[in-house]
Amino acid sequence: MNLIDRRNFLRYASLGIFAALFTRKVEASTFLMKRFLALPPKETPFITPNEHFYIVNFGKQPQVDAADWTLRITGKVQRPLELTYQEILARPAVEKMVTLECIDNEVAGELISNAVWKGVTLKSLIEEAKPLQGVEDVAMYGADAYSDGITLDRALNYDVFLAYQMNGVTLPKEHGYPLRAVVPGLYGIKNVKWLTKIDLVDHDYKGYWQQKGWTDTATIKVKSRIDAPGPYNTINPGYIFRGIAFTGGYGIRSVEISLDGGKSWVPATIEPPPSPYSWVFWKYEWKDAKPGTYQILSRATDKLSRTQTAFISRAFPDGTSGLQSIVTFVE
Ligand SMILES: Nc1nc2c(c(=O)[nH]1)N[C@H]1C(S)=C(S)[C@@H](COP(=O)(O)O)O[C@H]1N2
Ligand SMILES: [Mo]
């Protein structure tokens, strides 16, 4: 994916300069844009097949054998636990659709995917271990020396669970087999894979990325993406624009689209999602499109009334922001 992005970027950069040389010859540059910059629309299935789900590891993928693996619940608890894979599988299960997004995901990027995960609630394990007074954070450790933490409040009250299945099959190795955290609402960094230990501590735990200055809260910013048409495509009146929108704020309330470079906005339709933790699909039919060249943008608002900002920020330290904008030709 990175490779494709880089290739497209080079393509844009070099051809962008080339196109700029023709600014006075609008027709020539339009021809060049249509000819060289047009990209296909994104085909985005609502549930991402496991083999297409994005993967981000800080280092090498560890090899874990479930037969000699255990999950330990340690720290400030009355009753430390050590559970085998079979014991985890035997517990009451929950199944939820949750979209994961990497904090490195660009606006309109592809480090975002959606799956149905099955596992055990973190709350049930913590309650069984009986936390002592004064626990602040729940630190989660992976077999690859990665770790990250969430607050005890988040661990108990926000549907956090530990998954051993992904889209109906055993959690694939690259996605954290045998067990990974799924933390609805928070960026991928908090969704620790290859879990080995859950440690309850009386302070603010700083994980792998926090020690390098990245966000500790990691709330996913509200974002939308235009999947069709691709940039520099030519469309006809009646074309149906479509894309995705996502947020850490308990679901998307609305998506708007601008057909005039951000001056005015019209509502798009969103398909009601089956889960408050999944992305939504939106669409907009442009019935009265007139021939010309247009700059199209999308923006989403979530159920916490947070509207996607035009302010451009890079991934460090708390995730990207901005609005995607594409050039569209109407014929
Ligand atoms: N143990 C461990 N867990 C991890 C990581 C890691 O490197 N090691 N990467 C995190 C990051 S940055 C993201 S975005 C998600 C990605 O999960 P995926 O590879 O299943 O999509 O896993 C998170 N959990
Ligand atoms: Mo990430």
Distance 56 CA to ligand 2 centre (A): 6
Instruction: Give every CB contact of residue 50 below 8 A, 6+ residues apart in sequence.
Output: 115, 166, 167, 169, 172, 175
Q: Whose CA is nearest to atom 5 of ligand 1?
A: 57
Q: What tokens were used for 238?
A: 């009646």
Which atom in ligand 1 lies closest to the alpha carbon of residue 54?
21
Cβ atoms within 10 Å of 325's Cβ, excluding its own: 17
Which atom in ligand 1 lies closest to the alpha carbon of residue 59?
7
Query: What letter represents residue 243's amino acid?
Result: G
* Partners of 97 in beta bridges: 116
Mutate to test the pocket of ligand 1, among 148, 193, 198, 212 (most ligand atoms within 8 A of CB): 193
Which tens digits make up the pLDDT trace of 75-121? Answer: 999 999 999 999 999 999 999 999 999 999 999 999 999 999 999 99
191 lines ligand 1 (CB under 6 A): yes
- CATH 3.30.1330.20 for domain 33-44+220-330, yes or no, is no
Q: What is the pLDDT of residue 4?
A: 47
100 lines ligand 1 (CB under 6 A): yes
The Cα–Cα gap between 141 and 71 comes to 10
Residues of the chain with CATH 3.90.420.10: 50-212
Q: What is the pLDDT of residue 1?
A: 38
Residues of the chain with CATH 2.60.40.650: 33-44+220-330
Q: Whose CA is nearest to atom 20 of ligand 1?
A: 175
Q: Domain 50-212 falls in which CATH fold?
A: Sulfite Oxidase; Chain A, domain 2 (3.90.420)
Taking all residues of the chain, what is their mean pLDDT, rounded to a whole number?
Answer: 94
Residue 145 has pLDDT above 90, yes or no: yes
Percent of residues, the chain, with pLDDT higher than 70: 92
Q: What is the pLDDT of residue 10?
A: 54
Instruction: Give every CB contact of residue 43 below 8 A, 6+ residues apart in sequence.
Output: 227
The Cα–Cα gap between 266 and 216 comes to 35
The Cα–Cα gap between 86 and 123 comes to 19
Which tens digits make up the pLDDT trace of 287-311? Answer: 999 999 999 999 999 999 999 999 9
Which tens digits make up the pLDDT trace of 14-57? Answer: 555 555 555 556 677 888 999 999 999 999 999 999 999 999 99
